[in-house]
Amino acid sequence: MSSKLSNDLAEHSGPVSSLFQQLKNPKEWEQYMLTEEQILFFKKNGYVSGIKILNGDQVDLLNQELTQL
């Protein structure tokens, strides 16, 4: 991804970075499925917490980019 801040992301129809792994099939997505307990909790409370979205390397890279801004 270009470091140019005026890059219009509306012009892109796919990933603009290699930061996130692109999953290719349903089997790879299974690790991200909510459990039945999480679904029931969401239906009752309207949110689910404690789900890790980024790994340490991704957080570090995003922090570096934020510092540059």
Write out pLDDT tens, residues 5-27: 557 888 888 877 888 888 889 99
> What number of H helices and E strands is found in the chain?
3, 0
- Quote the CA–CA distance of 21 and 19 in Å, as a whole number: 7
Would you place residue 47 in the very low, low, confident or very high pLDDT band (cuts 50, 70, 90)?
Answer: very high
Average confidence (pLDDT) over 35-53:
95
Q: What is the pTM of this model?
A: 0.56
pLDDT exceeds 90 at position 43: yes
- Quote the CA–CA distance of 61 and 6 in Å, as a whole number: 20
Q: Percent of the chain scored above 70 by pLDDT?
A: 91
Q: What 3-state class would DSSP assign to 69?
A: coil
- Quote the CA–CA distance of 43 and 37 in Å, as a whole number: 10
